Structure 1
Amino acid sequence: MVFEFFFAFSASAGTYAPLDCNKANIPAERAICANYGLGQQEARMATLFAITTSLVAMGQRGDIQDAQRAWLQRRDACGNNVSCLKKAYAVRIRDLNTVMEAIAARGPF
């Protein structure tokens, strides 16, 4: 599946860190930096976000960026609650995968 390729890409990017843990200043960011699984979810989500926004037209890109800003507010509202953060990432990754599926369905490229 095409999405497994993207996940493998993000997981193999050893030094890839979308969230600068040296600048983590809110409870949600500190919790993400302290939890390996959440860090991996952050990397996966950030990679999917970068790929989707690079593959869509400007109007849809703006919609995805607006949704990302709204999602960041919801994520940050979780504070340091790891369970809440895991659920937030699962929802956002699912939403970004839906965009990727729509892109793939329109092929060939």
Structure 2
Amino acid sequence: MTRVREVSSVIGAVFAAGLLLAADAAVAASFDCAKAKAPDEKAVCANRTLNDLDVTMGELFSLDKRLLPMGGRDALIGEQQAFLKSRKACGAKVGCLTDLYQKRVEALRNIIETRVMTQGPF
């Protein structure tokens, strides 16, 4: 149990550091806001809360992708593609986008808590 806490603390620290670096970057969202053309992308770039959720989602996705085994990565990528389709369907509706991002962030955190922390790769 102590080992799990230690690993959890390390992952938390790495995640927090990644968020700090992302927050300082010129491109705050997980995509380049200067190239945003679609209504959903423009809404994410224009809304600080959505932007922050996008950064969190991007960092969690990247972390999950690195920590999951091969088959899990393929499923994760498929889920991310489905998320992006759903995001596009929201258009510029902030409420729709916020709900979608919150659910995606929760799902990505759940992967770390239930699959990575309990099954490895440690």
TM-score relative to the length of structure 2: 0.80
- 1:15-26 to structure 2, matched below 5 A, reads 15=25, 17=28, 18-26=30-38
Contact conserved, 1:52 with 1:99, CA < 8 A, in 2?
Answer: yes
> 2: CA distance between counterparts of 1:6 and 1:75?
27
Contact conserved, 2:68 with 2:121, CA < 8 A, in 1?
Answer: no
2:10 matches 1:11: no
Partner of 2:78: 66
Shift of 1:106: 2.3
User: Would the alpha carbon gap of residues 21 and 63 (structure 1) be closer, same or farther in structure 2, given more than 3 Å must change?
Assistant: same
- 1:1-109 to structure 2, matched below 5 A, reads 2=8, 5=13, 7-13=15-21, 14-15=24-25, 17=28, 18-101=30-113, 102-107=115-120, 109=122
Q: CA RMSD in A?
A: 1.9
The one-letter amino acid of 1:105's match is T
Structure number, greater radius of gyration = 2
Output one character per residue of 1:8-29: Cα deviation in whole Å (capped at 9) or x when no partner. Answer: 2343111163111011010000
The one-letter amino acid of 2:17's match is F
Number of aligned residue pairs: 109
User: Would the alpha carbon gap of residues 26 and 35 (structure 1) be closer, same or farther in structure 2, given more than 3 Å must change?
Assistant: same
